[in-house]
């Protein structure tokens, strides 16, 4: 069994902490015992570049934070990052609106030609 938090947003998303960086996501995952963390917002160019710089491959489709970026103050384990994003769809109806979120997982992200350039 794995414990995961896949609905994450980066610091580039509206109304999120500027501390939503790979370093802090890794540290808090270690403190909370979370095994797999989503990256969220992978379509944002600056976030993709930061992920490309700070993550390295682990198992197929999963990544870990590079050792030089790890923050102290949490147990010494290695949470995995899954490259994720979401599509938010809002529909107006007579009685108001409905919102649907489609969660997306991109396991082959680093194998793409875009990885080397950080998708910029």
Residue 119 to residue 42: CA distance in whole angstroms: 10
* pLDDT 10s digits, 50-73: 999 999 999 888 999 999 999 998
Domain boundaries, the chain: 4-115
Q: Give residues with Cβ within 8 angstroms of 44, minimum separation 6.
A: 10, 12, 13
Please give the pLDDT value at position 68: 96
pLDDT higher than threshold 80 for residue 32: yes
Please give the pLDDT value at position 88: 83
């Amino acid at each position: 069994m794995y414990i995961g938090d896949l609905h994450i947003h980066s610091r580039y998303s509206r109304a999120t902490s500027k501390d939503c960086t790979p370093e802090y996501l890794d540290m808090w995952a270690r403190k909370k015992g979370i095994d797999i963390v989503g990256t969220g917002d992978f379509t944002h160019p600056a976030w993709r570049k930061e992920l490309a710089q700070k993550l390295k491959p682990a198992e197929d489709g999963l990544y870990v934070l590079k050792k030089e970026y790890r923050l102290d103050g949490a147990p010494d384990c290695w949470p995995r990052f899954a490259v994720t994003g979401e599509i938010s769809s809002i529909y107006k109806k007579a009685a108001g609106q409905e919102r649907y979120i489609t969660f997306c997982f991109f396991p082959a992200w680093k194998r793409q030609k875009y990885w080397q350039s950080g998708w910029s």
